[in-house]
Amino acid sequence: MRYSLAHPEWVPHDFDFARRSAGGRNPFARERVILSPVHPQTILILVRHGETTANTDGVWHGSTDTPLNARGEEQASRVAQHIRASFPDAAAVYTSDLQRARRTAEAIGAALGLTRRLEDGLREYHLGSWEGKTYSELYHEHKLWHHIRKDPDFAPHGGESPRQAAERLTAALRQIAAGHPGERVVVVTHGGALSMAMGAILDGSYTQWRSVMDNCALSELIFEPEPELLSFNVTDHLADL
């Protein structure tokens, strides 16, 4: 049984941290919106890291440094080969410094002949003393999604607020894009923080984006002339896993 970041009964009006509790494919997995075959803008290829035991067990491991499981390693290999075939012109590979993202980026970098670049601004949303709790505990006992929907500065003890997480990741993405004008760049990061950042970047609020990428899915983001997704949650390369 595999768990994701979401359960439909938990947070029906939030960004989709609680979309599913177990099993099944992400309904957005086949969604692909390609606007044009040629893009002079900088294009960020956003990749969520491969699967971990925290994903399968339904446990929050935001800043906890969890390795990929066997399926996650295979996902990393698949997305690496897909990127090499589809985006051989990628100029750089940036990654969160947490090992589940580093290992995914390592596979992608090896496929492209590029050295991964560590960026701690790409880390997952840090829940402090609530790290390691199940999604059920976070929802039912701690009312996490209620708190972060109502208060952008709410932070569990030792953790960060949703405002801090969204601003941190947004700043990292913008800085990476600014450093590679007119190039295509791979960015490996995490589902929760990326969901909040997408809300902030595309809709002006971290609460507005209601979709979480699958493990080793990819999306394409541009910032100029306006922030826009060229594709979202592409998983063709993972179809038989």
| pLDDT, tens digit (0-9, with 9 covering 90-100), for 119-129 | 999 999 999 99
**Residues 6+ positions from 182 with CB-CB distance below 8 Å:** 40, 41, 42
Domain 43-238: give its CATH superfamily.
Phosphoglycerate mutase-like (3.40.50.1240)
Percent of the chain having pLDDT more than 70? Answer: 83
Which of 49, 126, 190, 237 is flagged as catalytic? 49
Arithmetic mean of pLDDT, 47-65: 96
For the chain, the structural domain boundaries read 43-238
49 is catalytic: yes
Which of 106, 124, 160, 167 is flagged as catalytic? 124
pLDDT at 208: 84
| pLDDT, tens digit (0-9, with 9 covering 90-100), for 83-121 | 999 999 999 999 999 999 999 999 999 999 999 999 999
Residue 23 scores a pLDDT above 90: no
140 is catalytic: no
Q: Is 183 exposed, middle or buried (0-12, 13-18, 19+ CB in 10 A)?
A: middle
pLDDT band with cut points at 50, 70 and 90 for residue 35 = very low
Arithmetic mean of pLDDT, 163-186: 97
